[in-house]
Amino acid sequence: MNPDEATIGVSEALNERRIPFILAGGYSSNFYGIPRTTHDADFVVRVSAAEFQDLPTALGRDFERIEQLSFETNTGTLRQEFQVRGTRFKVEVFKLSGDPHDQASFGWRVEADFGRTKIFLPTAEDVVIWKLRWGRPEDKEDVRNVLTVQRGKVEWPYIEQWCMQHGTFGLLNQIRETVPEI
Amino acid sequence: MANSQEQTYTPPPETQKLIDELYREEVLQARAMDPVEKMMLGGRLFEAALTFVKAGIKHQNPGASEQECERLLTERLRLQQLLENSR
C-alpha cells in the first residue's frame, strides 16, 4: 500500500460507513497551494464517541493504530494515529470538536471526485484559518502559498472574521503583506 | 538571538530577484495543475524523499545491514518529528 492507496482507502472506508469527514493538513494545503511533501494524511471525522473508538475496525488491517486516544492541543479534540502497514506513511484521525470554527468549516466542506470514491476538503479560506491557528513555520508558508495561488478567489471577510476571534489577525496581515501579485 | 538575526536578514537584491522568479514559476505551475493531482503529490513526494534519505544512510554506513538501515531511518524520522514539534 502506498500513500495514495492509504488516503483513498481511508476515504472509502469512511464513505462506506457514512461517516462525514474532511481531509485536512498538508493534503488540503496542497490542493489549494503549492505541493510539498507530507508524511501523513489528516482526517477530521464527525462521529459519536463509540464510532470513534471503533475506527480501527472501520479502517481494517492495513492500518495499525499506534496511538490510541490523545488530545490535539488547539481545540482539545481527540485524535488517533495509524501506521499504514508496510510503509512509513501515517494517518491521523481527529474527532470533530465543538469549536465554532471547526463546526463551521465542516459545513462548508467541498467534494473532490476520485472516481471510485469521494474526498471532502475544507475550503481554501478554512485551510488558511486552520493553518494560522497552528502557526508553525510550515503552516505560515502554506498560508502564503494558498493565498498566492488562490489570489483574487478567497473571501477575505470570512477569513478576517475568524482570525479576529482566534487572535491571529496580526499574523494574517503579516503574511498578507508578503503575498506577491502573480 | 538567533530569531532576531533571522528576522532582520535580507538577501542581496540579485538573490531576492532569483527567489521571487522561482516562486513565481512555482505559483504558475501550481495554478496550471489539476488540484486533486496536486493534492496527492504530498505522499508521493514523501516516498521519493525517503528513497534519498535511505541512500544517504547507506552511504554513511557502508557495512550496515538492511535491518540496521531501516532502524536508522526510523531514528531520522523520529528526530524530524521532534524538530517539528519543538518549533
Q: How far apart are CA A164 and CA A142, in angstroms?
A: 20
Q: What is the pLDDT of residue B5?
A: 52
Alpha-carbon gap: B36 to the closest alpha carbon of chain A (Å): 6
Residue in A37, A136, A138 nearest the CB of B46: A37
DSSP class of residue A152 equals T
The residue ranges of DSSP E strands in chain B, in sequence order, are none
Cβ distance B27 to A32 less than 8 Å, yes or no, reads: no
pLDDT over threshold 50, residue B1: no
Task: Tell me which of B24, B25, B41, B76 to substitute to probe the interface with A (most A C-beta atoms closer than 10 Å).
Answer: B41
Query: What was the pLDDT predicted at B41?
Result: 95
CB A3 within 8 A of CB B43: yes
Closest listed residue to residue A177, CA positions, set A152, A149, A148: A148
Window B:24-83, CB contacts with A under 8 Å: 24, 26-28, 30-31, 33, 35-36, 38-50, 73, 77
Residue A141 distance to chain B (closest CA, Å): 12
C-alpha grid cell, residue A122: 475544507
Cell readout for A161 is 472574521
- Chain B residues with CB under 8 Å of A3 CB are 40, 42-44, 46-47
Supply B1's cell numbers: 538571538
**Is A91 in CB contact (< 8 Å) with chain B?**
no
- The pLDDT > 90 percentage for chain A reads 84
Contacts of A32 in chain B (CB under 8 A): 35
CA distance B62 to chain A (A): 23
Question: Taking the domains of chain B in order of start, what are their residue ranges?
Answer: 35-87
3-state SS, residue A105: helix
The cell numbers describing A115, all together, are 472516481
pLDDT at A77: 83
Whole-angstrom Cα distance, residue A76 to residue A97? 7
Q: Can you tell me the mean pLDDT for A76-101?
A: 91
pLDDT at B85: 74
Contact A121, A28 (CB under 8 A): yes
Cβ contact (<8 Å) for B30 and A145?
yes
> Residues near A168 by Cβ (< 8 Å), separated by ≥ 6?
A129, A132, A133, A135
pLDDT tens-place string over residues A121-163? 999 999 999 999 999 999 999 999 999 999 999 999 999 999 9
* Buried b / exposed e along A169-181 (16+ C-beta atoms within 10 A): bebbeebeeebee
Under a CB-based contact definition with an 8 Å cutoff, are residues A94 and A44 in contact? yes
**What is the separation of C-alpha A160 from the centre of its chain, rounded to a whole number of angstroms?**
20
| pLDDT top residue among B2 and A118 | A118
Q: Per residue in B46-86, pLDDT tens?
A: 999 999 999 999 999 999 999 999 999 999 999 988 887 77
- Is A6 touching B (CB cutoff 8 A)? yes
Task: Flag if A182 and B27 touch (Cβ within 8 Å).
Answer: yes
Of the listed ranges A75-79, A163-167, B1-5, the least confidently predicted one is B1-5
Question: What is the arithmetic mean of pLDDT over A104-123?
Answer: 92
- Boundaries of every domain in chain A: 3-176
- More confident site: A67 or A139: A139
The label of the residue with cell 503529490 reads: B41
Query: Mean pLDDT of all residues in chain B?
Result: 89
Chain B, nearest residue to A91 by Cα:
B43
Q: What are phi and psi of A171, to 5 degrees?
A: -65, -40
For residue B50 the three cell numbers come to 525517503
Strand partners, B2: none
The ipTM, to two decimals, is: 0.87
* pLDDT in the model for residue B66: 92
Name A76's Cβ contacts closer than 8 Å, sequence gap at least 6.
A97, A99
SS3 A18: coil
For the segment A8-54, what is each residue's pLDDT rounded down to a tens digit?
999 999 999 999 999 999 999 999 999 999 999 999 999 998 999 99
Domain A3-176: give its CATH architecture.
Answer: 2-Layer Sandwich (3.30)
